[in-house]
Each structure stands twice: as C-alpha cells, then as structure tokens.
Amino acid sequence: MPKQVPNDEVLYHIGLSKDMIEGAEYVLLPGDPYRVEGLAKSIDPNAKHLNNNREYISYLCDFHGQKVLVCSTGMGCPSVGIGVEELATIGLKYFIRVGTSGGIQSYTNLADVIISKAAVRLEGTSSHYAPMEYPAVASFELTNAFKKGAEKAQVPHHVGITASSDTFWPGQERHDNYSGYLLRRFQGSMAEWKALNVLNFEMEASGLFVICSAFGLEAAAVCAIIAKREDSEEVDMDAKRRARENWEKVVKEGLYVHMQERGLVS
C-alpha cells in the first residue's frame, strides 16, 4: 500500500507537501536546478516558486487549468530515486525527465530531441528497486504523447533507446577524464551501444523508468542533444541554447496531448 502522509507534512528532501502542489499530477524533472525557473515560465509566465531544498528547486505552473510541478533532481539516479519516492508520496503520478544528452548515432544532430522509449541500465540505483532482468521502459501512452507533441511542434526528434550511466566520463567512454584512463569494460563501449541502436547517453532515465514502473507510475524522458559524440566530447554551448528551445516546445505540446487524451482539456 502506498505511503500516506498528512496533507500539510513537508517532506524532508524535496521540501514540498501535498497542500503545496495543489493537486498536481504531472511533474517535469530537469536535472539542473538552474533550469527549473526557465522551464516553468515557458509553460506558465506566472509560475509560482515553491521551495529550494538541496538539489530540489520547485515551481508550480498553471497549464490550461491543470497544475504542473517543475522540480529539479540534480545529476544521477540516486537523487532521482529520492525525488521520485517523495514526489509520489505527495501525489505526483506522471514523471517527465527533461534534460540534455550526448548523441551517439550519426543521424542524430545537435539540438535534436530524443524521446526515450527504454533505457540501458548502466547505473546502480535501479537495482535497489528491481533485479537487473527487469526492463527500464517508459510509459507507452506518455511517450507517445511527447512524440505527437514533437511532430506538432515540428521539432527534429528521434524515439528510441537511451543509455543511462552512473558517470559522466568513464561510463560514457569519454577520454578527456582527469586520469586519461578508462577501465577495460568501458573501452569501445560507445561503439557497442551504437551498434545496438542506442541513440544517446545521459544519467537519469533508466532509474526513473524502473522506479516508476515498479511503483505503478508513469514516466517519460525528453532529452535534447548538446554533444555529438562522433565529432567531439565537448558540450556545444550554441546547441545547448537551441536544445532548450526545442525541449520547451516538445514538453508544452506533449503535455497538452496527454491531458487531452485523458479528457482534462478540450
């Protein structure tokens, strides 16, 4: 049975209570706390700041009469897991990761949006919720809504499998790490995932998918490419700006599609 808490109880890590989110069921989850305000105000220019606590900065939006929470998670699956646990406890049901990633296929371009239908579990957090045989898959309905949203917004996008790593450098086979050395199991790993039709690297989707599936919640991931790994291991700052514009369009359209399919908006 899901954990129950009083409506006014502020949870320890996220710094939010049921009362504070005003019945919101959707939460957008950027990793970077400094992306929260911009993402929230792209949905609702009058978005209301709720709290800053640890890596969890939160804003509440009004979107076509529905409340939508935006809450950062920080980097990596451990903090995603903590956030999902507490956000679910206060009533959130639809969890959408919004962020950045590195593209590894030649046909993906800078600022393209990747909509993840599943993720490779290159992290340890999800194994605390389900055995490694358990798949990291996104919600079909939620993912399909964002695909329709990307089409409606005319944003270049791809739907496929993401690899979620516990580390930014070795797990993603970046050779510009401090020591310059990679464990043998990571040497050549990018080529392997590319051959297996994985689209991109990032650090949160698999943990989010496994935890939400295990809890009976719905999750999706919308990430834009800011490094084209075939060409460079560096983040492209111009692509980062264009990526933000693209994911904002996709998120707004995708949210509307999903709410419309649920009969919440006309």
Which residues participate in catalysis according to the annotation?
13, 86, 174, 229
Pair 164, 206: CB distance under 8 Å: yes
CB-count exposure of residue 44 (10 Å: 0-12, 13-18, 19+):
middle
Pair 211, 164: CB distance under 8 Å: no
Q: Which residues pair with 136 in a beta bridge?
A: 119
Backbone angles phi, psi at 187, to 5 degrees: -70, 120
Element (DSSP H or E) covering residue 146: helix 140-153
Structure tokens at 8: 């006014």
Please tell me the distance from the alpha carbon of residue 250 to that of residue 95, in angstroms, as a whole number. 15
Of 229, 77, 226, 250, the C-alpha closest to 154 is 250
Structure tokens at 170: 């070795």
